[in-house]
Structure 1
């Protein structure tokens, strides 16, 4: 089984290196709701639905829903 929070942690570092998501503070995976909450330095949040996703599908969904 994949550690989806670890995938989020590694993805956070990568996305911070991009122009669009420089202000990304954290990606938090909630197993009970199968969502990822993106928190930004300005205090804003966005929530991505990642229900039933594998690690690679989750990455794609996060990028589509957060950017």
Structure 2
């Protein structure tokens, strides 16, 4: 099984290097809910559904749902 939090930990700096998501502070995976919580510097938070995702689908879904 893939470590979804580890994938998000690697993804975070790449997203922070973009203009659209430079204010992204953290990505937290909640296994019990299969959700990713994206927290931003201004205090806002967006939630991405990661249910039944593979590692690559997780990356795609997070980007699509938080941008």
Moved runs in structure 1, 4+ residues, more than 4 A?
A: none
Gap runs ≥5 in structure 2: none
Query: Partner residue of 2:64?
Result: 64
RMSD over aligned Cα atoms: 0.4
State the shift of 1:18 in Å: 0.3
Structure 1: gaps of 5 or more residues: none
CA distance in 1, matches of 2:65, 2:56: 14
Please give the TM-score of this superposition, normalised by the length of structure 1: 0.98
Match of 2:9 in 1: 9
TM-score, with length taken from structure 2: 0.98
Q: Which residue of 2 aligns with 1:29?
A: 29
